[in-house]
Structure 1
Amino acid sequence: MRTNIIRDEHVTVSYDVVNGWTVVEVDGDVDLRTSPMIREAVIRLLGEGHRHFVLDLCFVPFMDSMGLGMVVAITKRIREHGGSLRITYTPGPIVRVFEISGLHATYQIYHSPEEATQRTPSPDGLADWPHSPSVKKGS
C-alpha cells in the first residue's frame, strides 16, 4: 500500500515496500526547493528501520545539481545504515543529468520499480560505493 510522505504544490513523494525494498516514488521536479524535503523523507524512513531503497525517478521531469547532491547525500546515509540503493528512471532528461555527472556508472540503474525489485536486497548493496556496481542496468 503506497503511503504519501510529502505532498506539496511542487512534489509528491510516496513509498511502498516491495520484495524487501522500500520504493520511494518522486513525482515532480527535484531541485533546490524539493531536494531537502526528499532527503529528510528518506532519513525519516531510515530512522523507522527501512534499509534497502529504490529511488523511483520515473515521474521526475527535471533534476538539477541540488537533486544530484541529494541522491549522493541519501546514498551516504543509506550506506552508513548497511543498506542498498537502486535508482529508476525512464529515457529522457534525467538520463542526461546522470550521464553528464558521471553518476550513472556508480549506481544500479533500472527502467522501472518492478525491474528494480525483482531480486531481494543483498546486505552489502553499497559496500563498494562509489565505485561501479557489479550488477549493471537490468541485471
Structure 2
Amino acid sequence: MDGLTISSESRGASTLVRVGGEVDAYTAPMLRERLDAEISAGHTHLVVGLEEVSFMDSSGLSVLVGGLAAARSRNGSLSLAGPDERILRVLTITGLTDVFEIFPSVGAACEAADGVTSQVS
C-alpha cells in the first residue's frame, strides 16, 4: 500500500493541495483534515492536484465532495487537476465529472481559478 502525501502552496489566487499515493478508507481522513484546515484558514479557492494519486476509492471521493461543499459554503471553489485515466474513469462513472471542474494540469486549473477570482474581486 502506498502512503499518502499531501502538500499545499499558494498559487496565485488559489491554494494548490497536491495529493500523492492512495486515497482510501485509511488515508482519506488525512486529506479531509488538510482540506478542512485550508478552508478554515480562509483558503477557499482550492485546486486539488491528483497527478500522483495512484488509487482512490469512495472514501476519497466523499472527501472531495465534502471539500467542495465546504469551499462553496464560503463562496469558494474546489477543482481537480491532473487525474490519471483510472481516477478520471471513477469520477465519470460516479457522475462527479458533472460536479467538479476538472483540468488536465495544475497549471490550467490555477490559471482558471485566477481568472474566476479576478472577475469576482
User: Structure 1 stretch 50-59 or stretch 82-91: which is displaced more?
Assistant: 82-91
Which one of 49, 53, 72 corresponds to residue 46 of structure 2? 53
Which protein has greater RCO, CA pairs closer than 8 Å, 6+ apart? 2
Which one of 41, 44, 61 corresponds to residue 34 of structure 2? 41
Which one of 68, 76, 81 corresponds to residue 69 of structure 2? 76
**Unmatched tracts of structure 1, length 5 or more:** 1-8, 124-139
| Percent identity between the two aligned chains | 34
What is the letter of the counterpart of residue 108 of structure 2? E
State the Cα distance separating 1:34 from its structure 2 match: 1.0
Which one of 105, 108, 122 corresponds to residue 116 of structure 2? 122
Pairs aligned (count): 115
TM-score by length of 2: 0.88
State the Cα distance separating 1:14 from its structure 2 match: 0.2
**Counterpart-to-counterpart distance in 2, 1:82 and 1:121:** 15
State the Cα distance separating 1:44 from its structure 2 match: 0.8
State the Cα distance separating 1:121 from its structure 2 match: 5.3
Instruction: Looking at secondary structure, tell me which structure has more helix per residue.
Output: 2
TM-score by length of 1: 0.77
> What SS class does the counterpart of residue 50 from structure 1 fall into?
coil
State the Cα distance separating 1:106 from its structure 2 match: 1.6
2:8 alignment counterpart: 15
Asked whether the equivalents of residues 28 and 59 of structure 1 are also in contact (C-alpha less than 8 Å), the reply is: yes
